[in-house]
Amino acid sequence: MKNQIFIHAKEVAVELNISEAHAYKIVRDMNKELSKQGFMTISGRVSRKFFYEKFYGMEGGELHSVSI
């Protein structure tokens, strides 16, 4: 499943330990951001790469340090 290009809202809910409703809102917001950048999106799922970049600061599979 990790080899899939997209992450589904249900998987986002499990990954972040949140409700499915909240996960769908997060996916919807991410898709709006991608759409504004000119990308096509699919409801209920988002690019796995984009998801990990936004939540974990990962780019190309590498974790980047984030200052708090």
Q: Confidence class of residue 57 from pLDDT cuts 50, 70 and 90? A: confident
For the whole model, what pTM was predicted?
Answer: 0.78
CA quadruple 23, 55, 2, 31: dihedral sign? positive
> What SS3 class is residue 45?
strand
Residue 18, domain member (yes or no): yes
Residue 1, domain member (yes or no): no
Evaluate if residue 39 carries a pLDDT over 80: yes
Give the pLDDT confidence score for residue 61 in this predicted structure.
53
Overall domain count for the chain = 1
> What SS3 class is residue 38?
coil
Domain encompassing residue 20: 6-63
